[in-house]
Amino acid sequence: MGIVSHDHFQGQVAIVTGAGQGIGFEIVKALCEHGASVVLNDLDKDLAQRAADKIDRQGFNCVAMAGDVSEPGFIAEMVNTTVERFGKLTMIVANAGITKFGSFLEYPAESLQQVLQLNLVGSFLFAQAAARQMVKQESGGSIVFMSSVTGHQAHKDLVVYGMTKAALEMLAKGLVVELSEHKISINAIAPGATLTERTLEDPNYVATWSRLTPTGRPGEVQDIANAALFLLSPASRQITGQTIVVDGGWSCVSPSPY
């Protein structure tokens, strides 16, 4: 038996945002395989439903709920619907986020607001709504934010995105002060180069990041899901306010892809 066992997630209920594909989908699948009931959120209704159906066909308990997790009203609805359906909420992964590339001197205010609203404000409000429910239940819980190595090392044309990801890591630290007494842990994961549907649109992605990453390969979505399972499980019960960097050692040496 591994450090994270199937028993850890039996009877647990999670929400994972931005989970129609890529890292979010893999986290949902891993949680379901380990016995949790999961609400799979994505902005794209069809994508969310296809993803949930794919997991359900394997005999697991996954429900799609499409909507914009930068909107406070939808966040409240999603948490309330989860509790009505499953009776509680014990884990969340705030995975939804957007990237809008652009140089600092020419970056439009509209793009700035969009990235801040989803990556930072949406994650804050989602964690707040979930934590309120966990406090009400008096049974503790786990919150995981999805950061990025761009919150640790500067990247060309990603100053705004990196700024939001660094802020999420500070948010995880700050919430330790207020939520630890309620037995709620708060951590973050900072993926490096990872193979997803989006990154594989670049035909040079694998070759470039295999060359730049000390382990000789970019990450896979399973690598990030494994970190999420650990942080959401009792195996990490004394870990809170921390960020796990999953980047194959790239941020230790930080060679630029440009």
Given the residues 37, 148, 233, 236, the one annotated as active site: 148
Alpha carbon distance 32, 6 (integer Å): 10
Residues 240-256 pLDDT 10s: 999 999 999 999 998 88
165 an active-site residue?
Answer: yes
Whether 45 is catalytic is: no
Residue 134 has pLDDT above 90, yes or no: yes
What average pLDDT does the structure give for the chain? 95
Alpha carbon distance 113, 14 (integer Å): 28
Q: The tokens of 148 are what? A: 């990025």
Tokens of 41: 């959120």
What H or E segment, with its residue span, contains residue 188?
A: strand 184-191
Q: Percent of the chain at pLDDT above 90? A: 93
Is-catalytic flag, 148?
yes
> Which domains does the chain possess?
8-243 (3.40.50.720)
Query: What is the per-residue pLDDT for 49?
Result: 98
**Tell me, what's the pLDDT at 130?**
98
- Residue 26 and residue 197: Cα distance in Å, rounded? 12
Q: Would the pLDDT of 6 be above 80?
A: no
Residue carrying structure tokens 């997630």: 9
- pLDDT over 50 at 70, yes or no: yes
Whether the Cβ atoms of residue 139 and residue 83 lie closer than 8 Å to each other = no
Query: Does the pLDDT value for residue 1 go beyond 50?
Result: no
Catalytic residue, candidates 37, 165, 205, 233 = 165
- What pLDDT is attached to residue 8? 78
Q: Which of 70, 123, 147, 161 is catalytic?
A: 161
